[in-house]
Structure 1
Amino acid sequence: MNTNQPLLSARGLQVHFRVGKHPLPSRRQQVKAVDGIDLDIYRGETLGIVGESGCGKSTLARALLRLIEPTGGTLTWQGENMLAYRKAELKQKRRQFQMIFQDPSASLNPRLTVAECIAEPLLTHEPQLSRRDVEQRVLQMMDKVGLLASQRNRYPHEFSGGQCQRVGIARALILRPELVVCDEPVSALDVSVQAQVINLLSDLQQEMGLTMVMIAHDLSVVRHISDRVMVMYLGKPMEVGRYTRVFDHAQHPYTQALLSAVPIANPHLARQRDVQLLAGDLPSPINPPSGCVFRTRCPQACDQCAEQPPTMTGTPEHHVYCSLIQPEISTHGSPTRFLSL
């Protein structure tokens, strides 16, 4: 367990959206995209957040940086109330936390050269720099992410998807932030390019001492780069812990189902393993199930699951949100055992 003060903390974080056409906003339906997230992000580590599409990963990523305003809960940045920052103070703080977006092409201004795209944060946060200093910083960062100096005057449409993502990474890191949130940075790239970008991020983290949040639905990506993992389902956490504990001793039925669906390159082994298919579709976040939100697809669900929210069991290094898992079993990372109900 990390005993240092967290760099960023969230408690009971909620992001609810009003939808519908009723003239009174209070009468419109609520989409509970993020509904009660507790997490701590420690300096120098990588927290991986995984879950299927629609579980609220990207909304959580934006809420952590106040790109979307939370509707409930608290956010703490280095011991300060992050939600209390006013517009000017938040703008000043943004140099300390940056984001790498999912679609590299859509996140770059097509009317600017790649050098101008990378230089934008410097012009905003360090306007005192001379033109020569800005150019030097840009070229240094381009070299770090594997781009050539001769490419600086090209436009984003002249680059491949992987190269555009390198530009996005350079732009996010040029201010040398303390925290970088990566919102599925490789999901739009070819498999071979994905490995290159993930290795680049890992190298840059070591070189620059970065703290990272890695959002992904590909468990192999998260396992390769993360120190801790949080599994999300319908806006809520299911399982959180060290990646070795979560992947090797998965306790929650949802985590086990995700792991069983990971492709295996060896066709002989793939035919032998037991794939746990989830029944049904992801419920609507407008009207989530009562009690445990996963109960409508859980093979172990019972009447108790519908009556009350799941309790957290386990240790600070590995805890599970499930009322059916025996606390004394879950604390030792043993195979999952459920209470007889």
Structure 2
Amino acid sequence: MKVLVTGGMGYIGSHTCLALLDAGFQPVIFDNLSNASKAVLTQINKISGVTPAFVEGDIRNTALVRQTLEHYGCEAVIHFAALKAVGESTVEPLNYYDNNVSGTLSLLQAMDSAGVRRIVFSSSATVYGEPDYIPIDEHHPLRATNPYGWSKVMVEQVLADLCQADSRWQATALRYFNPVGAHESGELGENPLGTPNNLMPYVAQVAVGKRSLLSVFGNDYPTADGTGVRDYIHVMDLASGHVMALKARLEGYFACNLGTGQGYSVTQLIETFRQVSGKAIPCEFVERRPGDVPCSYANSELAQQVLGWQAHKDLTAMVTDVWHWQLNYPMGI
């Protein structure tokens, strides 16, 4: 089966392309390269021996998306293409709603015109906002605390309504927690353009000497050590979840969490990185970021029951794979 992967040059998208290839699918990458590099294709080939088809374009270009779907004979879409920085979304909400919400509407219109009505959507645990209880399950109310999170809530609602209105559609929203790690080969990992928005690549860049200091956003949260607690999930475990969602052949709309069920603080992650890398990793504490919550980790039992999926890699494996990748490509690719 050929699968269109929007945002497939990005961090999670590129690792999912590897998982798709390993499972016998043929990914077709559609990406505007706003936060990715064409060099990703070379890295995918190094690992898999295959260079996926690639179309450079924006998901808001409905005609190009439709043309791509039809030209390659795609039967499903995995949708990653989105802006994803929580803090930035509070400053630039219009950009986030335009790209993430309007862009998805454009994608869905193109899919409908091409007769492709199966989609796996990259959602996020940010849809839950500040949680009422831990671990968070799918019954928790959806109430994001930032525009990024609300953009995911809005798209989920669109998908649910679409599946309710038209039984030909099937949509799975995967609400994943905090993706980290890299491919175990060390040939592919998170490769942000400019300053990383996520913690792990920033820690790795400090450890390798690319950056001098790590800023930790907040040490006064109501947690054991004052730093935020998150459910970190290895990117290859996450990638396998998308493959399982395609294989499940569900009907209608389905949403589930992808996480490990284990919360680790920012301090714990940094200390694990120090142990694995043998580097000091100097830190400073700064003010909290707008929209961040103190603690968030998943109940992923539904994914195991319905998709047959569960996470396997622990925090040490996540950090080890990131460090391997960072040592191989200290300046990125």
TM-score of the two chains, using structure 1 as the length reference? 0.30
Bigger proportion of residues as helix: 2
TM-score of the two chains, using structure 2 as the length reference? 0.30
- Larger radius of gyration between Structure 1 and Structure 2: 1
